[in-house]
Structure 1
Amino acid sequence: MPAELRRDQNATPHRALGPGGAWAMAVGGMIGGGIFSTLGVVISVAGHWAWASFLLGGIVALASGHSYSALTRQINQSGGSYAYLREMGWTTAARLAVWVLVAGYTLTVSVYAVTFGAYAAFVFGAPHWVALLAGIAAIVGLAGINLLGAAEATVLEKIAVWGKLVILLCLAGFGLWHWAPERLALDAGMPIGFHDALIGMGVVFMAYEGFQLLSYDYEEMRDAPRTIAVAMPTAIIVTTVTYILVALGAGMLAGASAIVENKEVALAIAGRDALGAVGFIAVSIAATFSAGSAINATVFATARLAEQAAQDGEMPALFARRDKRNVPWFGTIVISAAAIVLVLVGGIEQLVEGGSLVFLLVFSLVNVLAILRKAGKRWIALVGLVGSGSAAILLVLHLAGVA
């Protein structure tokens, strides 16, 4: 679809996302599976430096978000890195990128579904097959909400985001009130230094996947240039602060070893240690709402990315089909179905690490494109490039057993 036509569509009155809705979509995409899925994983690598891993990841995400926002406003259309590559005439790279992106986002939907199922089953002491069934049910249900239309998906996102932020920040505050930094350390026989925080940043980076979904929702926004310029950085800042506080607070409540031992339901353990059954149930509810909102936001944006690629002839034409509710129904269904398959075959740690590597590479590419196109501030893009590139290298070394 020509850029001029997309700009005309952007001016039409049916745009469902204002700054508040866009901010909720970005926060939902990040916190949705982020802290619930990755806290135990990053503590197992970085120990008491886990909070620093989240801080470093937030800095890289904020710099990369600057590049995403600047590039999207410069070309004035949705599509993220796929659209940026096409705008530069690199069509072969764009074709490869869009398939990698759709695969990466489908992978993250499966991570969120695994998290949803794990917390839902843990509340009732149910076996593993119930967790799988609950995760699959979450994908199916939220795909259905997406098929109802953008407005319905946005309302759900706002409710879920504010609910989980309140519960997470209360949990973090309770942990910090009972200050016990010694509980952040792993076993004494496992010495951990600041360099492990750098590795942890790579391992945990999937927790920051989500803000860039706004670059695919651009044509769903009202006053899109202003909305994305405001919503993207504020969402990243709020998410980073929340991650740091929860890493510290939850670690002090439950202890690092307990969180690592219960990776998939770590925060529910912390909630139980904080407030007994009430805290356990509150955090479990927050986790299921949070993972659900991440599934919703990711499916919403990925279906629109696939739709745009199909309109450009880079993906099968069925992905460009919209139904009477103006929803790209085929992409929504296919992405959800593929995520269900991954839920059945993948483990949480492998899914998290695989997703982190995909997005570190994509963010490195976007920062390079921002420098080449002189979009935004060059030094900020350089920070994003150095950070994401270094984290990708460290993650590969970690996965190879070298670091």
Structure 2
Amino acid sequence: MAQSSAGLRRTLGVGDAVVIGLGSMVGAGIFAALAPAAHAAGSGLLIGLAVAAVVAYCNATSSARLAALYPASGGTYVYGRERLGEFWGYLAGWAFVVGKTASCAAMALTVGAYVWPDQAHAVAVAAVVALTAVNYGGVQKSAWLTRVIVAVVLAVLACVVVVCLTSGEADAGRLDIGASGGLGGVLQAAGLLFFAFAGYARIATLGEEVRDPARTIPRAIPIALGIALAVYVCVAVAVLTVLGSDGLGDATAPLADAVRAAGVPGLVPVVRVGAAVAALGSLLALILGVSRTTLAMARDRHLPGALAAVHPRFQVPHRAELAVGVVVAVLAATVDVRGAIGFSSFGVLAYYAVANASAWTLGSSLSARAVPAVGLLGCVVLAFALPWVSVVVGAGVLVVGVVAYGVRRKLRAA
């Protein structure tokens, strides 16, 4: 068995990294996040999308700069530890692992809800087991499967956009941009939509498995984010022209409802399949990211050291992947993860707040600090603009992590 100090194999190029990022961003979020965001922002939905994109851009830029300097598994856990100190790295890692583990369960249950609603939990567990097995076989297999998933999802979304925009029901007047939900509603929508943009973190957390990371990661992150933003804008505009912000806010399956309202109900099953495939893609990439952060934290003994083992043949953190798979499967089988988008967004915004604070230390000039400053402020504002339940639960989980950190430090010093 490999020692915990073993490194991972660098096999991913720019294209592979972009695809993995897209698999996380152009995933189930596009099928699920638009409705609650429209409900919160009303006619300010597109403004909320723009705000989320600006914050995501700042976070992505900060992450890319840091990843080029610290090309190791763990993402912001590593950056916070190296730039701000052990506690802040730990807090970022804790926020990411906990928030994204809940998000994994949500994605798995999304698969179940679309594939077999009456047996959603059973299908969710099966999906987790299958994708954990794929990840266990090596990151190249994961990248190949993600490439297929992204192609299918983009094709389905293209059909939705074309059908909606060419429909006789389309009305550009429904795009009237206002702020019927108020400033608070727009910010809440931005926080919810951030859930869909946060997938570029997966590129940074795979820093130990990409070739020439100083060149690959800074190129892959903005490319993936730019493509995802273009897709989200196209889909949001197309759906709004058919449903309007009120209809979109009340929709339970917004894209399926949009093609039905556009007069093409035969496309609804295709959209359902696309949603299930998208959720699978998100789940695959999420398990990858969470397991790599778990690996990094285990190397530093913030988590059990046994989770730092790297498989001698497949060159993956196999124990971390199995542990994450087991936890997610248990959650998917036993809990109701409604509100997981808000909870996940709170955790990930806390994670990126640390990333921006870390990037702030990379330079002293105004130009070097402007982007991380905007990103840090944006993360804090959007985190506390989320539904109050998400804020309370998310803050509570962070406090539990801080207490655990303090107890462990005292035990080590004793």
- TM bracket (short chain): 0.7 to 0.9
Q: 3-state SS of the aligned residue for 2:386?
A: helix
Counterpart CA distance in 1 for 2:112 and 2:242 is 23
Equivalences for 1:2-401 in 2 at 5 Å? 14-88=9-83, 90-121=85-116, 126-127=117-118, 130-178=119-167, 179-181=170-172, 191-193=180-182, 195-263=184-252, 265-274=253-262, 276-323=264-311, 324-344=313-333, 346-347=335-336, 349-374=338-363, 377-395=368-386
Per-residue CA shift, 1:68-93, capped at 9, x if unaligned?
Answer: 01011123433222111221361233
RMSD: 2.7
Per the alignment, do residues 191 and 84 of structure 1 end up closer, same or farther by CA in structure 2, a change over 3 Å counting?
Answer: closer
Q: Which amino acid aligns with 2:27?
A: G
Residues 245 and 104 of structure 1, relative CA distance in 2, 3 Å threshold: same
Shift of 1:54: 1.7
Deviations along 1:258-277, one digit per CA (max 9) or x if unpaired, are 544443x3222223334634
Q: Does 66-75 or 337-346 show the bigger shift?
A: 337-346
Q: Secondary structure at the match of 1:84?
A: helix
How far 1:25 moved relative to its partner?
A: 0.7
> Which amino acid is the alignment partner of residue 277 of structure 2?
F
For 1:166 and 1:338, how far apart are their aligned partners in 2? Answer: 32
Distance 1:71 1:269 in 2: 41
- Amino acid across the alignment from 2:386: L
2:122 and 2:333 in contact (8 A); partners too: no
Q: Is the Cα–Cα contact under 8 Å of residues 64 and 367 in structure 1 kept in the other structure?
A: yes
Instruction: Give the conservation status (yes or no) of the 8 Å contact 1:102–1:302.
Output: yes
**Alpha carbons 2:83, 2:358 under 8 Å: kept:** no
Deviates more, 1:48-57 or 1:21-30: 48-57
The answer to whether the 8 A contact 2:24-2:285 is kept is yes
Determine the C-alpha separation between the residues in 1 that align with 2:251 and 2:123.
19
**2: CA distance, partners of 1:154 / 1:242:** 20
Q: Give how far 1:231 is off.
A: 0.9
Q: Compute the TM-score of the two structures, normalised by the length of structure 2.
A: 0.84
**Per-residue deviation at 1:400?**
7.5
Shift of 1:377: 2.9
Evaluate the alpha carbon distance shift between residue 395 and residue 201 of structure 1 in structure 2; reply closer, same or farther with a 3 A threshold: same
Q: Give the drift of 1:356.
A: 0.9
Partners in 2 of 1:107 and 1:320 — Cα distance? 22
- Structure 1 residues 101 and 191: alpha-carbon distance in aligned structure 2, compared to 1, 3 A threshold: closer
CA 1:221/1:356 → structure 2, altered by over 3 Å: closer, same or farther? same
How far did 1:353 drift? Answer: 0.7
Q: Give the structure-1-normalised TM-score.
A: 0.86
| Percent identity between the two aligned chains | 26
Q: Distance in 2 between matches of 1:75 and 1:86?
A: 11
Q: Tell me: CA distance 1:400–1:218, structure 2 relative to 1, closer, same or farther (3 Å).
A: closer
Does structure 2 retain, via aligned residues, the 8 Å contact 1:119–1:268? no
Instruction: Provide the secondary structure at the position in 2 that maps to 1:219.
Output: coil
Distance 1:325 1:398, change over 3 A: closer
Unaligned runs of 5+ in 2: 393-414
Query: 1:35: how far off?
Result: 1.1
8 Å contact 1:58–1:237 — kept in the other structure? no
Distance 1:146 1:399, change over 3 A: closer
| One-letter code aligned to 1:276 | V
Structure 2 CA distance for aligned equivalents of residues 271 and 153 of structure 1: 31
Contact in 2 for aligned 1:37/1:348 (Cα 8 Å): no
Paired positions, count: 382
Displacement of 1:63: 0.9
Report the AA paired with residue 279 of structure 1: L
2: CA distance, partners of 1:293 / 1:136: 15
| d(CA) in 2 for partners of 1:267, 1:183 | 16
Distance of 2:249 and 2:328 partners within structure 1: 25
**Which letter does structure 2 place at the counterpart of 1:134?**
V
Q: Which amino acid aligns with 2:378?
A: G
Give the 3 Å change call, closer, same or farther, for CA 53–343 of structure 1 in structure 2. farther
Amino acid of the residue matched to residue 151 of structure 1? Q
